[in-house]
């Protein structure tokens, strides 16, 4: 069983309205995937659903011609992630996993124990696009510039609960909060290696919209905590009861 | 706040019965951690609980002298993971994450779509030890040699449910099976990139002890599926209601 290649594009997707691909995507389809003109490719842009397209153009300047819509856009989940950047490979992993697990936006936040201040939004966006293509998502999470945690919290809307995973103190499991969180746009905050400082923990716990939860008795690395917290939210409050998005096969 | 270094050792841990460390652990404590003789180090061996020890000996041949037990051993969870090896970095990640999420044993299994047959049990064991030290576990998961999936299933004990995560078909969420799985030793099976072959899926679904579950509508990479499935099991059936294992601080 081979799957039809799937690409995120920036252009509108409308019947017989060709989409010019850039050099990178052209090379990917013709050199890496070794597709010939006339091959089928799936495309999505976060707006117009998913389209089956025909590959046209040249190896250096490929074109997708939308033939028919294969999936409608639907409405995404309003679940956003705030995370403190860590080492490069593990941060990349967080971007990829948060995309697979369906977040709508990713906000890097700088905390007292954050070791790195190099946050490359363009790199994060490339990683998110690749993960969205692979995971059968219909959109790509929005990636924001890094801001200090205190600043992010100072402009928070009270109506939006912020789930805060703190391994250094007692807290209830997420399941306890299911009914109060149902149907609400929500955010999840994960700290860096070493967690939050005592001052940050005090600040967080004093805020009305912050909901501390536990992720069990062991100390999880930051990227594990991201996957675990998003998994719990999606299974309890998200779209995990929906049918799988099966890729179209050739 | 600095945490006391934590090491897994193979020797018994008894009061004032010194433990000779090998060259690697000696170098780690004296060169990497820059600890001086007289420093405190925590040690565990999977049998005797966790001990606060005093560092003695020389930089090339360090010795730990157990002073007092800081945690009792307790009984572990009988939850094992069967996974199909994938690319190196992502397989390493599976070993690390499965250890963080508290599995008692890890069994690499070779499936029809498994791309790699190089399975380095010694490397997996090093990764598991490092993760166990970091995650405040009291033991290290046992790592087994790789076997073909069909062989692993042919010697299965019927009493042990095998949770099978298949993204290519309809299945119920794990929560549906909570009461039938409670208190039972359990295993979780995660396939390689590309999932299971139609023949494997048929074989799995025909077995009485196999419980198919869903991990939501998006296609998850194998290592994401490992973390998600173990998270769900631990939160529903495992030890995530226990208090956190707080590391002892200096």
The pLDDT, as a whole number, for residue B246 is 53
| Alpha-carbon gap: A153 to the closest alpha carbon of chain B (Å) | 25
Per the structure block, which two tokens stand in for B245? 């294992």
Q: How far is B154 from chain A (nearest CA, A)?
A: 27
Find chain B residues with C-beta within 8 A of A137's C-beta. 218
Q: What is the ipTM of this complex?
A: 0.91
pLDDT at A73: 94
A193 shares contact with chain B (CB less than 8 Å) = no
Question: What's the pLDDT score for residue B225?
Answer: 96
Contact B218 A137 (CB under 8 A): yes
Q: Which domains does chain A have, with CATH numbers?
A: 6-71 (2.40.240.20), 79-237 (3.40.1280.10)
Q: Contact B111/B196 with Cβ under 8 angstroms?
A: yes
CB A219 within 8 A of CB B134: yes
Residues of chain B contacting A215 with CB distance shorter than 8 Å? 240
- Judge whether B104 is closer than 8 Å to chain A, CB to CB: no
pLDDT of residue B244: 62
To the nearest whole angstrom, how far is the Cα of B3 from the nearest Cα of chain A? Answer: 10
| Chain A contact set for B247 (CB, 8 A) | 219
Token pair of B247, please?
Answer: 């590391």
Option in B217, B227, B240 nearest A244 (CB): B217
> How many helices (H) and strands (E) are present in chain A, helices listed first?
7, 12
Tens of pLDDT, residues B208-227: 999 999 999 899 999 999 99
* pLDDT per residue rounded down to tens, chain A (250 residues): 347 899 999 999 999 899 999 999 999 999 999 999 999 999 999 999 999 999 999 999 999 999 999 999 988 789 999 999 998 889 999 999 999 999 999 999 999 999 887 788 999 999 999 999 999 999 999 999 999 999 999 999 888 999 999 877 778 899 999 999 998 999 999 999 889 999 999 999 999 999 999 999 899 999 999 999 999 999 999 988 766 665 444 3
Measured in angstroms, the CA of A167 and the nearest CA of chain B are apart by 7
Which of A95, A212, A231, A236 should one mutate to test binding to chain B, selecting the residue with the greatest count of B CBs within 10 A?
A231
C-alpha to C-alpha distance for B23 and B236, rounded to whole angstroms: 42
Q: Is a pLDDT exceeding 80 seen at residue B39?
A: yes
Which residues fall within 8 angstroms of residue B201, CB to CB, at 6 or more apart?
B166, B168, B169
- Which of A221, A238, A247 is facing B100, going by the closest CB pair? A221
Q: Return the closest-CA partner of residue B47 out of B82, B5, B19.
A: B19
Residue A103 near chain B (CB below 8 Å): no
pTM (two decimals): 0.93
């Amino acid at each position: 069983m081979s799957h039809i290649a799937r690409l995120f594009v920036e252009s509108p997707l409308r019947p017989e309205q060709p989409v010019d691909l850039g050099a990178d995507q052209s090379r990917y389809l013709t050199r890496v995937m070794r597709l010939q003109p006339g091959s089928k490719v799936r495309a999505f842009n976060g707006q117009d659903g998913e389209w089956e397209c025909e590959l046209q153009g040249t190896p250096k300047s490929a074109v997708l011609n939308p033939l028919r819509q294969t999936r409608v856009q639907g409405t995404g989940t309003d679940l956003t992630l705030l995370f403190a950047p860590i080492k490069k490979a593990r941060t990349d992993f967080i971007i990829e996993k948060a995309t697979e697990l369906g977040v709508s936006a990713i906000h890097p936040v700088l905390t007292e124990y954050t070791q790195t201040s190099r946050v490359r939004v363009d790199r994060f966006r490339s990683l998110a696009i690749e993960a969205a293509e692979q995971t059968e998502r219909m959109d790509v999470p929005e990636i924001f510039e890094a801001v200090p945690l205190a600043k992010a919290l100072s402009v928070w809307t009270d109506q939006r609960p912020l789930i805060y995973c703190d391994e250094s103190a007692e807290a209830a499991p997420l399941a306890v909060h299911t009914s109060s969180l149902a149907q609400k746009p929500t955010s999840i905050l994960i700290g860096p290696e070493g967690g939050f400082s005592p001052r940050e923990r005090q600040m967080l716990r004093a805020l009305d919209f912050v909901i501390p939860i536990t992720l069990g008795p062991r100390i999880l690395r930051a990227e594990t905590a991201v996957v675990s917290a998003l998994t719990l939210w999606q299974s309890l409050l998200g779209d995990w009861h929906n049918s799988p998005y099966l890729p179209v096969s050739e």
